[in-house]
Amino acid sequence: MHQLKVVQLTKYYKQAQALAGLSFEVENGEFVAVIGRSGAGKSTLLRCINRMIEPTAGQVLFNGTDVRNLRNRDLRRLRTGIGMIFQHYNLVHRQTVLENVLHGRLGFKSDWDGIVGNYTHAEKQHALEIIAKLGLDQHTYSRCDTLSGGQKQRVGIARALVQDPQLILCDEPIASLDPSSAKVIMDHLRTICREMGITVIVNLHQVDVALKYSDRIMGVKAGTLVYDGKPDKLSKKLIHEIYGTETGDLIDE
């Protein structure tokens, strides 16, 4: 059974079609890069997988369960297995690194325990171990508004990892970062995939980064899947088709 199976996924925003019947399957432990222009439907695709956005039609099967059929507690339980990393971090900046990382456990908590921050000793220890693994242990008790962009994104990764997810969705995780910080983030994501066996699906603008890090690339254009294959089979002609622009600027970023 495929870990993730998407069948004819379609999304309309009023009259505008964002996704036009996408179908694909992802195996456990794959590192998949999704590339395409801004507005191609990449972010909508990721948000439909975990139902942050409601699809208009189609199926999203995660470990055989159709995400679209779930409600309330069942949807919340399924989402604990899917981590999410955002371009703009989505952190509570007045709180510490540890507090933000522990937010990844909220899906396992009652509303009251979540409000009062009632975490177990084991959960706190797990969070501390992940923070250290990501090289943030010197900032464990620092407020997140004192961190650099790259450090904030590592907090976002730690928050996703503390869920013990099977799949991590990354929506333009390096778009706001300088090249050095971007490399650190991509190296961490690849290590997570390789060493922890967690499936990673990452939206990227940078074709060169997708070519370097991914096992597989999906090219999205106007809500349709125009390429799905190995990085070494992605020709300049195909890149031009995906982006509708000259390829040199994209590959040499």
- List, for residues 214-229, the tens digit of each pLDDT value: 999 999 999 999 999 9
pTM: 0.93
Residue 186: inside a domain, yes or no?
no
Gap between the Cα atoms of 24 and 22, Å rounded: 7
Question: Strands 57-62 and 4-13: what pairing?
Answer: antiparallel
Confidence of residue 1 (pLDDT cuts 50, 70, 90): low
Residue 112: inside a domain, yes or no?
yes
Three-point CA angle 224, 226, 227, nearest 5°: 135
Residue 149: inside a domain, yes or no?
yes
Residue 253 and residue 172 in one domain = yes
Residue 206 and residue 136 in one domain = no
Residue 6 and residue 66 in one domain = yes
Q: Is the pLDDT reported for residue 70 higher than 50? A: yes
Residue 113 and residue 159 in one domain = yes
Residue 154: inside a domain, yes or no?
yes
Tokens linked to 194: 């390789």
169 within 8 A of 79, measured Cβ to Cβ: no
Residue 69 and residue 171 in one domain = yes
Residue 22: inside a domain, yes or no?
yes
Total number of domains constituting the chain: 2
Residue 6 and residue 41 in one domain = yes
* Percentage of residues in the chain having pLDDT higher than 90: 84
Q: Is the pLDDT reported for residue 249 higher than 50? A: no
Residue 198 and residue 235 in one domain = yes
Gap between the Cα atoms of 42 and 218, Å rounded: 10
Q: Is the pLDDT reported for residue 196 higher than 90? A: yes
- List, for residues 78-103, the tens digit of each pLDDT value: 899 999 999 999 999 999 999 999 99
Confidence of residue 245 (pLDDT cuts 50, 70, 90): low
- List, for residues 102-116, the tens digit of each pLDDT value: 999 988 877 777 777
Of 252 and 59, the structure prediction assigns the larger pLDDT to: 59
Q: Which domain holds residue 156?
A: 89-164
CATH of the domain at 248: 3.40.50.300
The amino acid occupying position 248 is G
Residue 53 and residue 172 in one domain = yes
Residue 51 and residue 172 in one domain = yes
105 within 8 A of 163, measured Cβ to Cβ: yes
